[in-house]
Amino acid sequence: MKISKTELQNKIKGGWAAQTIGCSYGGETEFGWKGKMIPDNYAIPWNDSIMYRLFTTKGGLYDDVYMDLIFVDMFEKHGFDVSAKELGNAFAHADFLLWHANQLARYNILRGINPPESGNWMNNPHADCIDYQIESDFAGLMSPGMPETSCRISDKVGHIMNSGDGYYGGVFVGVLYSLAFTNNDIHYIIKEALKAIPEKSSFHRCINDVVDFYEKNPSDWKAAWKMLDEKWDNDMACSEGLYDDFNIDAKLNSAYCMIGLLYGNGDFGKTMEFATRCGQDSDCNPATAAGILGVILGYDAIPDKFLKPCKLVENKNFDGVDMSLNKVYQIGYKHALAMIKQNGGTVEKDVVVIKVQPVKTVPYEQNFEGMRLAGKIAGQKITSGYTFDFEGNGFLIMGNGETANEKLRNDFVVQFELSVDNNAPEIMAFPLNYKFKLHRELAWKYLLPEGKHQVKLEWKNPNKEVTIDCRGTAIYTTIK
């Protein structure tokens, strides 16, 4: 495939700019509507100064982008062969906040559990969450027309923080970006990208349901949302969403992105609006949808209404990284040219020739396969220990630690001793510092022998100024 250098750079800029615009567009609505659509009578805020204000007052909103950039920066400094362990260490030690699967991966890595184990569901209850999906844009942007290359990058990076459907979300998004350089037909791109995901996975089945529904009902995005709500709005493990309307499962939120892309039909504003009005993590979903459309359209074709506010922040660094949009426009283009040459393409004076790759299916992996939620044990305050009996094959103790003492909040690490069925205990460390703590879980074990078990959690270093609140324990069992 031949493409001019000017067009290639315009598309790469379009992807980065549009992702950031989409994140800003949905930023004021994030988690304001959980398990329900944002109603038409709510006007989604947008004006010329909104991106500048969000950049300067709410930098953590842009985790969609700064997580991409930490990996872009590592590739720039250490080359494309940089190891997953090095990439994991870079983001684990970076000076920005993380949540869910990213937060658990940081916790794991800082305790010597390195990729891919850091993202595996046995070590990371948030492995099916949205994390790699919202930070995988770079994999496709540096692999124009080369979905196999994008998948290789995702295999290395995505397993730092995710596995199963959470990993597939990032694989899928990376391939969507890669194919957006070669074709303008959004419906075709989505169906083609879905070939990268094993058909028997729940992720593939969920996205395929959206595509099938669109083909039969191409004008009613709200009906598509209702179909997803009835069939796919469930969560197996995220401690924040197990017993709440909150849901950042990768397949569901990826499906919201597909609603935006399919029903938006190439209109930049409508694509973002529909993805945002699906609710839940409603900054991430328009960011992904807009980023992919931004590659198709190119930077110069993004409507001025959205591009003008973006230009005000293009020189500003994102939180925790020494990189701005203007900088990644250049580095991203440089990386794409290098990847094209590395994969059999050529770079001429004004034209680039890309050796286009087919979409190939990545290996099958599924978290919590053959398991289901069996119930919940009521929570309690933990002052010294917590013991419970259950019947099943796994558990997740949900909870949090709090203190009014600022020094303890920064430095104190709760030490738990966890034992199951009186087997040798293991130490569970729970930092109170938000940057380094577990998300909202105290301990977990999966794939125990099906049957009756007793769990003991003993607080080894109790402090009267620290409160440990167990919010309940989820119990898992084998599907029969």
Please, what are the domains in the chain?
2-353 (1.10.4080.10), 371-478 (2.60.120.260)
- Flag whether pLDDT at 270 surpasses 90: yes
Which residue type occupies 312?
A: L
The C-alpha atoms of residue 394 and residue 285 are separated, in whole angstroms, by: 32
Residue 19 confidence (pLDDT): 98
Residue 435 confidence (pLDDT): 83
Is there a contact between 121 and 105 (Cβ–Cβ < 8 Å)? no
The C-alpha atoms of residue 90 and residue 253 are separated, in whole angstroms, by: 27
Structure tokens at 165: 């459907």
Residue 381 confidence (pLDDT): 94
- Flag whether pLDDT at 55 surpasses 90: yes
- Flag whether pLDDT at 287 surpasses 80: yes
- Flag whether pLDDT at 37 surpasses 90: yes
Percent of the chain at pLDDT > 70 equals 100
Band the pLDDT of 440: cuts 50, 70, 90.
confident
* Structure confidence by residue, pLDDT tens digits, 118-142: 999 999 999 999 999 999 999 999 9
- Flag whether pLDDT at 188 surpasses 80: yes
Is there a contact between 217 and 168 (Cβ–Cβ < 8 Å)? no
The C-alpha atoms of residue 268 and residue 248 are separated, in whole angstroms, by: 24
* Structure confidence by residue, pLDDT tens digits, 328-373: 999 999 999 999 999 999 999 999 999 999 999 999 999 999 999 9
- Flag whether pLDDT at 389 surpasses 90: yes
- Flag whether pLDDT at 439 surpasses 80: no
pTM over 0.75: yes
- Flag whether pLDDT at 239 surpasses 90: no
Average pLDDT score over residue span 247-256:
96
> Could you tell me which of 257, 325, 414 has the C-alpha nearest to residue 66?
325
Token pair 């931004």 is found at 294
The C-alpha atoms of residue 295 and residue 429 are separated, in whole angstroms, by: 44
Least confident of 102-111, 126-135, 384-393, 431-440: 431-440
The C-alpha atoms of residue 471 and residue 382 are separated, in whole angstroms, by: 10
The overall average pLDDT reported for the chain is 96
Residue 148 confidence (pLDDT): 99
- Flag whether pLDDT at 2 surpasses 90: yes
Q: What is the 3-state secondary structure (H, E, C) of the chain?
A: CEEEHHHHHHHHHHHHHHHHHHHHHHHCCCCCCCCCCCCCCCCCCCCCCHHHHHHHHCHHHHHHHHHHHHHHHHHHHHCCCCCHHHHHHHHHCCCCCCCHHHHHHHHHHHCCCCCCHHHCCCCCCCCCECHHHHCCHHHHHCCCCCHHHHHHHHHHHHCCCCCHHHHHHHHHHHHHHHHHCCCCCHHHHHHHHHHHCCCCCHHHHHHHHHHHHHHHCCCCHHHHHHHHHHHHCCCCCCCCCCCCCCCCEHHHHHHHHHHHHHHHCCCHHHHHHHHHHCCCCCCHHHHHHHHHHHHHHCHHHCCHHHHHHHHCCCCCCCCCCCCCHHHHHHHHHHHHHHHHHHCCCEECCCEEECCCCCCCCCCCCCCCCCEEEEEEECCEEECCEEEEEEEECEEEEEEEEEECCHHHHHHCEEEEEEEECCCCCEEEEEECCCCCCCCCEEEEECCCCCEEEEEEEEECCCCCCEEEEEEEEEEEEECC
Residue 285 confidence (pLDDT): 95
Band the pLDDT of 79: cuts 50, 70, 90.
very high
The C-alpha atoms of residue 91 and residue 98 are separated, in whole angstroms, by: 9
Average pLDDT score over residue span 379-384:
93
